[in-house]
Amino acid sequence: MNWHQSTAVQLSGLLVSLFGWVLSCVTTYVPLWKSLNLELNDLEIWNMGLWQTCVSQVVMQCENYASLLALPLEIKISRVLMVTSNGLGFLAFSLALLGSDCLKTSDPRQRRPLGITGGILFCLSGLTTLVPVSWVAYNTVQDFWDQTIPDVVPSDLSFRSVLAFDAFLRKPLINRDTTAGLLRHRFG
C-alpha cells in the first residue's frame, strides 16, 4: 500500500485524536474527579465524580446522586460540557475520517472541507473538555487552602485530572498537524 506522507500524518492524527476522545469519555464516567480522605481514618477514601460518589474501604461502593438540584454548580455545568465534548468528539472523528485520504470515497475537493471541519470540531471538543476539568481542579485547590474547612478533610486532585488534561492535549494539537497537512495538500 503506497501512501503519501500527508495520509500518514492524517492517519496518525486520527488515531491520537481517537485516543484523546476515548480518554475524555472515560474521564466523564469515572468517579475520580475529587478525592477526599480523613486523616483520622486512612482506610476510607471518598471519590466524587460527575454522576456518583464512591466510598472505598476494602471494596468500593458507589451511589448515584439523589438530586440534580442539590449538586454544586460546577458539577452541573461540568456534566453538560463533558457530554457536549464527547458528542463533538464523536462527530469530529466521523467527519475527519470521511475527509481523510485513507478513504477514497469521493473527490478530494469534497473530502477536504470534511477533514477541516473535523479538525475544528476536535479543537472545540478539547476546549469543552478543558473548561470543566480546570474549573473542578481550581475549586479543589481553593477548597484545599480554605481556612473554614477542617485540616482533617484534605481534598486531592485525582487520576481524573491526568486523564482529562491528556485528552485535551491530544485532541487539538495533533489535529492541528492533520488540518495543516490538508491545507498544505490543497494549496501547496
Domain boundaries, the chain: 2-32+67-146
Helix (H) or strand (E) holding 46: strand 41-48
Q: Which residue has the cell 489535529?
A: 175
- pLDDT at position 115: 85
- pLDDT at position 83: 96
pLDDT tens across the length of the chain (188 residues): 455 667 788 888 889 899 999 999 999 999 888 887 766 666 788 888 899 989 888 888 999 988 888 888 889 999 999 999 999 999 999 998 888 877 776 677 788 888 889 989 999 999 999 999 999 888 877 877 766 655 554 455 555 555 566 666 666 554 444 545 444 444 44
pTM above 0.75, yes or no: no
* CB neighbourhood size of 149 (10 A): 13
Q: Cα(8)–Cα(36) distance, rounded to whole angstroms? A: 45
- pLDDT at position 166: 63
* CB neighbourhood size of 178 (10 A): 26
- pLDDT at position 170: 63
- Dihedral of the alpha carbons of 87, 77, 38, 54, in degrees to the nearest 10: -40
- pLDDT at position 38: 67
- pLDDT at position 7: 77
